[in-house]
Amino acid sequence: MEDNSLKSLIRWIGVGIIFLCLTVFVGCDFAESGLVKEQAVTFEQEIAYRQRKELELEGKLKRANEKIESLGRQLECKNDLPDEKDAKQ
């Protein structure tokens, strides 16, 4: 009888060790999943920030190009006007 109870005790200890190992592995997997999720959120936020900055810079570049075109047209108009020296003659 003692032999059966010893085998049963060893069996339950083995089951307990297996359960403990599975619990640790699953717990680590959940912790790793949480870390991966946190990294994904951070990455998505970084992408959104960079996209906003890109749009902002595109707007600034567009306005600068429009200003350059405007100044170029003003310069052309100024060059088309007769000089004051020519007007006096």
3-class DSSP state of 65: helix
Q: What span, in angstroms and rounded, lies between the C-alpha atoms of 38 and 44? A: 10
Burial of 5 (0-12, 13-18, 19+ CB in 10 A): exposed
pLDDT digits (tens, 9 = 90+) for 1-58: 567 787 787 888 888 888 777 777 666 666 677 788 888 999 999 999 999 999 999 9
Can you tell me which residue has the tokens 């108009």? 77
Checking if the pLDDT of 87 tops 90, the result is no
Query: Model pTM?
Result: 0.49
